[in-house]
Each structure stands twice: as C-alpha cells, then as structure tokens.
Amino acid sequence: MRMQSTMMPVPLSLNHFLERARLYHPKVEIVSRMPDKSLHRHTYADFHRRAKGLAEALVTAGIKPGDRVATLMWNHYAHLECYFGIPAAGAVMHNLNLRLFPHDIAFIVNHAKDRFLIVDDVLLPLLAQFAKDVNFERIIVVPLTGKPVEQGHEDYEAFIGKATGDFNCVEVDENAPCGMCYTSGTTGNPKGVVYSHRSTVLHTLVAALPGGINVSGTDTVLPVVPMFHANAWGLPFMSTFVGAKQVFPGPHLDSESLLDLYQRERVTVTGGVPTIWLSLLQTLRANPAKYDLVPGMRMLVGGSAAPESLFRGFDEFNLEVATAWGMTETSPLGTVSVLKPQMRSLSKEEQYGFRTKQGMAAPLVDIRLIGDEGEVPWDGSSVGEIQVRGPWVTGGYHDLPLNESSFTADGWLRTGDVGCIDSEGFLRLTDRTKDLIKSGGEWISSVDLENAVMGHPAVLEASVIAVPHPRWAERPLAVVVLRPGMRATGEEIRDHLAKTFAKWQLPEGFAFVNEIPRTSTGKFLKTKLREMYKDWKWE
Ligand code: ADP
C-alpha cells in the first residue's frame, strides 16, 4: 500500500478562530462607533459569548447547515458576531450591500434564498423599500440606537439572550459554505460568490502574513471598507485570528470621524478605497496639526486604481499607503504590493514605481496574463487579461451555469482586468476590459491617464473614459473635480500630461464637474459617465 501521511484530517474551520478568541485574547477590545457617535466597547470574551449565543439561537430557531442568514448592517460589533455566529450554526452568512438599489437587494435576497435577516435598526427604512418583494421568515433587529424594537420584528439582544450558553459550534466539513457575497455589479448583474470554511481560513492565514496585509496581535485594525463588501477584505477574520484589537466606524465614514477614531484608538492598520483616502488626505491637509495619528499607520488601498499622488500625499504625514488588488471572486486578496528587501535600498522615486503597482500574487494564488496569442511574457510592458486560480478563488457562481466569459476551459478565473507583470513579478493593472479606450486602433490605458491627471496640483479627483469619436472611433475624455478654491483649464492639464504621454494618448476633452458618480462601493461609476458623455461635442 502506498504510504499515508500520519497527520490528522482536522477540518479547517472558523469555529477554531472563535474559540481561540475566548481562550487567548479574552481581554482584547472591540470598539464600535454607534449611530449617535458614542463609542461602544466590549471584549473578545463578550464577543465569544454573544456570537455563540447567536449560533445557538439560530439553531433553536430551525436554521440548518447550509441555510442562508442575511445581514444588512454597518461595520460594528454585532456584524462581527454574525461573521462567526452564523457559521458556528453551520449556516451561511450572506451580507447584503446596503448601497445597492432596493430592487437589486431584493433580487439578491431571492436569488440566494435567504431565510432570516439580521438588520440594524437604523437601516429599517431601507428594508421597508424592498420588504414587500422578499420573504424573510424572521427579521431580527439590532437596537443600535437603544430604542425599543417595533412590533413584528425581533430584538437581536433578546434573540441571543435566550441562549443557555451550553452550546457547541456546529462542526461541518471544511469545504462547507460559511459565507457569500454578491459582486457589486459594476460591470453586469450581481453574481453570488460562496466562500467555504477552508477558503476563508487559508485566505486569512496568508493575508495576515507580513508580506501580505500584515496583521498581528499587536495591531489595532479599523476596516473602513464595508463588512458587506468582500468581507471587509477579510480584515475582521484576520484580526480575530491573531487577536488584534478591532475598531469599527459604524455608519460614520466622513474623514473627521475616521481621523478622530484613528487618533483616539491608536489604529495601526486600516483599509479602504481610493475615494475615501482622497477625501481623508484633503482633510488632513486642511488642518495638519489637528490630528496625532500612530506614525507609520498602514493604509491598505484597493478596489480601484490609486493615484501616485495619494502615496506621496500620505507619506508627508508619515502614513504608509499599500496597494492590494482583488475581487469579490478572490476572497478578495489576489496581489499585494510590499517592497522586496532589495527594493528597500532603491531611491524613494523608484520605490513609488513599485508601491503604486498592484504587486505580487499572494502565496497559493497563481496568476497569468493572456493576450491574443496566448500567454504574455512578464517583461513589464506586454499587456494581457489577468487570470488567476487558487484555493480562495471562486470556480463558479452560485446557481448560475459555468460561463466561458468568466472561466477558462482549463480552470482559471478570467478577471476582466488587464495589465502587465514585470520581471520582479509585480503586476500593474492598466484597465478593466470594459474600460479600455481604443483610439485609432491603439489601446490607451484610462488608469494611467487618471493617475497623471490626479497628479496635477489643482485636481482633486478624475476619471477618464472612452467617448465615441467620428474619426478615431474613441477618444479619452477626462472628467475632473478641482480642489476647492483652485483653478485649472483643460489646456493646462494637457500640458502637464504631455510631459509623460504621447500626443495621441492625451485626453481629447475635459469635463469639469462638482462630483463624479460612484458605485455602491465607492468606485467611480464609469458606466454612468460613459452614458452621460456619449454625445460629447469634440472641438
Ligand atoms: P465589482 O467587480 O462589482 O467592482 P469588486 O469589488 O469585486 O466588485 O471589484 C473588483 C475589481 O476592482 C477588480 O476586478 C479590479 O478591476 C478593481 N480593483 C480592485 N483592486 C484594485 C487595485 N488595487 N487597483 C485597481 N483596480 C482594482
């Protein structure tokens, strides 16, 4: 007989994280900003008791392994309890994106066949907008405001309060589902991605590494990225796993509230999309002496391309921006940009060149670039579609047939992103397939142009889109928001860009606006911009 390993086949399970929290980190704090701005504090010991109380209450209420329990919540302690309590009942946590249109939320709830809903009391008005289109068996309300829960709904505190405390987590196979998220539908209908205990545990282990997102027990972690969006990039799982103090902003995502929380709670790691960081930088600059933040606080940025000016700007305040790339489909960590040891002796300017790239694939993630003629070399300039595979990369979508526009025949995820990889293995994303600009037969990277436009001192935000052009098929149009009190003309911005771009690559037109429309997760909504400017009159 062939030799067998002697190792125990113990399943990888989130329940282990939950029990560790009580055993090893019972006194570590979990701090949440409440709707009235007060701070709610409890510990991992409270978290453990309450999450298990939730699991017991769900099982008593008839939730069976594999059933979906939805959450409609901001980032706070009760959502963290759901992150572990729902899987501890053997069930699947389905977090709903509260920024979607109500009819889209209803579509997702029905598609996922969610049985129960756990919802913040402050979000009941949102629920009311789609309640008639869905059929939750039970609605459990978290009384964040302290007001009594209205009749017809159950009170979360009473629900979990009924637990006896004598409950063992429901152990399931490591490949059993523990959670699901729908893609936010920036480029199409929302599609369900289902995570397993195994995929989530492996993702957590690797993402927490120093060469990854880098979270340890000495950190204090504040996810600005919503817990309903790709599991807040896994930060709550990583923090619980290592016993880091967790800080949650609740519904208060404005720059002042965030800076106040960073300062008060001595935050060392945070994560969010570029649009949030751009306004935070603006607030810091307006009042540089006001905030005393932990020097070197690591600010993870992802979700869309971050301009170089963002890295330079935060460097002035001794805050370290680091890029990661991923998708709901990749749990979400795909690549992360952490300088290799030999890169640390490069000049600051050369380091920006690497820091602003999306970085190296995380261990256990395979990546390749596919062009028209097959695999593209890693030479730093040849561009292809990014394809990935790995133990936390989805191999399909919930209740949808496998589709060759999303998955290749040999089992890779087609990300719809386009980029190049250099000889160091650092990925640089140049576009999304649908955002590419094809001018006179040549591709132009909208991301490169956006970065450069945002490098102009008078520009606060910019998005570059393809707009139909009678001669060139498409030409780039830059939609620009200027900094308050500053002025610049399209001509001046073009001159600034002409230092680094060929003439044919320069934006052909400039639209100055007060605000750029955003997606539910804070990205610039290019589909809307393309619609708005499709009849642009070229000069
Ligand atoms: P949606 O696809 O609906 O926007 P996701 O949150 O899953 O929802 O978005 C994943 C996409 O976000 C990626 O495919 C990529 O286009 C973009 N993205 C993520 N991280 C980065 C990054 N660091 N730089 C540029 N784009 C990014």
Report the 3 state secondary structure along 236-293.
Answer: HHHHHHHCCEEEECECCCCHHHHHHHHHHHCCCEEEECHHHHHHHHHHHHHCCCCCCC
Q: Residue 167: is it exposed, middle or buried by C-beta count within 10 angstroms (0-12/13-18/19+)?
A: middle
Question: Which residues, in sequence order, are CB contacts of 518 under 8 Å at separation 6+?
Answer: 275, 524, 525
Cβ proximity of 273 and 303 under 8 Å: yes
| 305 pocket-lining for ligand 1 (C-beta < 6 Å) | yes
CA 503 to ligand 1 centroid distance, Å? 29
Site to substitute for ligand 1 among 406, 429, 524, 526, most atoms within 8 A of C-beta: 429
**CATH number of the domain that residue 502 is part of:** 3.30.300.30
Phi, psi of 363, rounded to the nearest 5 degrees? -55, 140
Closest ligand 1 atom to the C-alpha of 328? 7
Answer yes or no: is 109 within a domain.
Answer: yes
| 323 pocket-lining for ligand 1 (C-beta < 6 Å) | yes
Integer Cα distance of 359 and 334 in angstroms: 9
CA 315 to ligand 1 centroid distance, Å? 24
Answer yes or no: is 93 within a domain.
Answer: yes
113 a catalytic residue: no
Closest ligand 1 atom to the C-alpha of 302? 23
| 86 pocket-lining for ligand 1 (C-beta < 6 Å) | no
Structure pTM?
0.90
Tell which of 181, 196, 211 closes a domain: 196
Q: How many domains does the chain have?
A: 2
Cβ proximity of 328 and 183 under 8 Å: yes
Catalytic residue among 162, 290, 438, 534: 438
CA 326 to ligand 1 centroid distance, Å? 6
Domain that holds residue 479: 435-539
Answer yes or no: is 91 within a domain.
Answer: yes
CA 415 to ligand 1 centroid distance, Å? 9
Answer yes or no: is 147 within a domain.
Answer: yes
Closest ligand 1 atom to the C-alpha of 229? 6
pLDDT score recorded for residue 212 = 95
330 a catalytic residue: no
Tell which of 173, 196, 219 closes a domain: 196
Q: Which residue's CA is the closest to the ligand 1 atom numbered 13?
A: 327
Bridge partners (DSSP) of residue 40 are 32
CA 332 to ligand 1 centroid distance, Å? 9
Answer yes or no: is 481 within a domain.
Answer: yes
One-character DSSP codes across 421-465? E-TT--EEEEEEGGG-EEETTEEE-HHHHHHHHHTSTTEEEEEEE
Tell which of 163, 196, 229 closes a domain: 196
pLDDT score recorded for residue 469 = 87
| 302 pocket-lining for ligand 1 (C-beta < 6 Å) | yes
| 199 pocket-lining for ligand 1 (C-beta < 6 Å) | no
Question: What are the mean pLDDT values of the chain's consecutive 10-residue runs (539 residues total)?
Answer: 95 98 98 98 98 98 98 98 98 95 93 98 97 97 95 94 94 97 74 97 98 97 96 98 98 97 98 93 95 98 92 98 96 97 96 97 98 95 96 96 91 95 97 80 83 92 90 90 93 91 89 90 85 88
428-436, long-range: CB < 8 A, 24+ apart:
428/357, 428/358, 428/380, 429/305, 429/325, 429/358, 429/386, 430/383, 432/187, 433/385, 434/187, 434/526, 435/465, 435/466, 435/526, 436/466
DSSP letter assigned to residue 504: G
**CATH number of the domain that residue 105 is part of:** 3.40.50.12780
| 415 pocket-lining for ligand 1 (C-beta < 6 Å) | yes
R_g of the chain computed on alpha carbons: 23
| 304 pocket-lining for ligand 1 (C-beta < 6 Å) | yes
538 a catalytic residue: no
pLDDT score recorded for residue 188 = 63
411 torsion bin: left (phi>0), alpha (psi -120 to 50), beta (else): left
Answer yes or no: is 348 within a domain.
Answer: no
Query: Quick one: CA torsion of 368, 371, 373, 379, rounded to 10 degrees?
Result: -70
Q: Where are the beta strands (DSSP E) in 372-440?
A: 374-375, 384-389, 413-421, 427-432, 437-439
pLDDT score recorded for residue 436 = 80
Tokens representing 244 are 């880091």
Coil/strand/helix, residue 141 = strand
438 a catalytic residue: yes
Answer yes or no: is 258 within a domain.
Answer: no
Q: Which residue's CA is the closest to the ligand 1 atom numbered 11?
A: 327
pLDDT score recorded for residue 84 = 98
Answer yes or no: is 35 within a domain.
Answer: no
Site to substitute for ligand 1 among 101, 417, 463, most atoms within 8 A of C-beta: 417
pLDDT score recorded for residue 417 = 94
